[in-house]
Structure 1
Amino acid sequence: MKNVRLIRHGESAANAGAATLDHSSIPLTEKGIEQAKRVAQSVGRAPGLIVASPFSRAQATANATISVFPDAPFETWPIEEFTYLDPTRCVNTTVGQRKAWVNQYWAHADPANIDGEGAESFLEFVGRARSFLDRLATHPAQDILAFSHGQFLNAVAWLIEREPPQIDAQAMIEWRRYEIDNHVPNGCGYVVTRALGDPLWSLSDSIEIDGAVRLGNVAKSAAATRVEG
């Protein structure tokens, strides 16, 4: 059985309301550092692989677990957060200051839209989530711990639960609703599994801040859901 724990990074400065210069290098707050330590303490045994997004807040969260299991293999994969706004116009802005731009982007509901240089379309974002599931399926490690971001984790969960037949405007609207309804707190996440020889992924558990698994609480459903991977 392949077991993959997907963890959102600890609280970042942007999460706490600070303005940011670069979306990829936002640091953890003191609270975020403590959350990362709590996740590391909850892991229990060395995973077969530790994976992290290239963004510094995910790397810093992963480092807390790496320090506990220094011999565990570590890799950086392209599982960074969805950058849908032009990064250049977001310099020195807070989450609150970007709210109008965010609302406008999602109201437009164009999966192919790219807001500017350094941004990606919703189609590309979902494509990265699909590629992540494919890479997990073929990797030889059976126990994998991945440190990523809230929207990316919900893209993975949405693909598994909803199995969207196509990524059009309606799918984009539905994903946005799903992401809001299933907000992933800092230091929390999901567990996905795949039986040996099974072409389908199962999404069955959520992970609380202390790393404990709370059964039957993913996407407000007690039943595991499955998707081709």
Structure 2
Amino acid sequence: MTRVWFIRHGESVSNVDLPTRHPAESELTLRGHEEAALIAGAFTEAPDLIVVSSYLRARETAVPTLARFPHVPTVTWPVHEFSYLDPERYSGTTGTERGPFAQAYWERNDPWEEEGGGGESFAALLARVQETLRLAREQTVGFVVVFSHGLFLRALLWSALTGVTEATPEAMQRYSHFARGVWLPNGAIMEAMVWADGRLYFSGFRAAHITDYSPSGEPALLGLQR
């Protein structure tokens, strides 16, 4: 049996509606760095494996934990954020400015669309989710920590709970409703147990380690990609 902490990154510049350069390059705010330190302080034992997203904000969030446990192996899994808008739309823009493009994307509800020619499709997101679940089920160690992102972790939770693995318009719409209804604060921990037979049990979200976890920059509409 493996215990997994899926952790959302700390507050980033995109979360507070500041201009961005690229979906992979949004850095943490001062508050985000403080949240990263609080995450590191939430551990009562060392993990056996630390997994990080390839995106900057998740990697920065992991820094205090890596410093606290310098001898723990670290790997990168495909747990980066669902960046469904073309990266060009992030160049010097805020989430509010990207909002109309994001809203139009969700209204089209096409799970195979690569928005603007460079966005990730919903089908590709589900494939990454299944790969991540496979990797989690293959672990033989006791405690794994994964630094990831809000939309991706909602997709992982939704797929694990519903059993949906195939990208269809109905699945995409169901996910969008689910994601809008599930608030996962910056720095929150989503705990899961992976049993030997592959079953996953989720025990809810932890945010008590974050001193002030009021919403910051959470989009009123899922389409306001952060």
Q: 1:45 aligns to what?
A: 45
Maintained 8 Å contact 1:79/1:148 = yes
Instruction: Kindly provide the CA deviation profile for residues 138-161 of structure 1, in whole angstroms up to 9, marking residues without a partner as x.
Output: 123220000000001001100111
Unpaired stretches in structure 1, ≥5 consecutive residues: 213-229
Maintained 8 Å contact 2:126/2:165 = no
Q: 1:203 aligns to what?
A: 202
Which of the pair has the greater relative contact order for Cα pairs under 8 Å at 6+ separation? Answer: 2
| Pairing of 1:1-229 with structure 2 (within 5 A) | 1-164=1-164, 166-196=166-196, 198-210=197-209
AA partner of residue 204 (structure 1): S
Number of residues of Structure 1 aligned to a counterpart in Structure 2: 211
CA RMSD across the alignment: 1.5
AA partner of residue 38 (structure 2): R
Unpaired stretches in structure 2, ≥5 consecutive residues: 212-226
Maintained 8 Å contact 1:49/1:74 = yes
Distance 2:57 2:208 in 1: 16
Maintained 8 Å contact 1:39/1:209 = no
C-alpha displacement of 1:83 = 1.1
**TM-score, normalization: structure 1?**
0.88
SS at match of 1:28: coil
C-alpha displacement of 1:117 = 4.1
Distance 1:204 1:52 in 2: 21
Maintained 8 Å contact 2:8/2:185 = yes
C-alpha displacement of 1:211 = 6.8
SS at match of 1:154: helix
The list of structure 1 runs, each at least 4 consecutive aligned residues, that deviate by more than 3 angstroms after superposition, is: none
Instruction: Kindly provide the CA deviation profile for residues 64-114 of structure 1, in whole angstroms up to 9, marking residues without a partner as x.
Output: 101111111111111100111111133111011111111100010010111
Distance 1:50 1:142 in 2: 12
Identity percentage over the alignment?
33
Distance 2:75 2:189 in 1: 19
Flag the 1:76–1:68 CA change in 2: closer, same or farther, 3 A.
same
Distance 1:39 1:128 in 2: 25
Distance 1:137 1:59 in 2: 23
Flag the 1:202–1:98 CA change in 2: closer, same or farther, 3 A.
same
SS at match of 2:153: helix
**TM-score, normalization: structure 2?**
0.89
SS at match of 1:10: coil
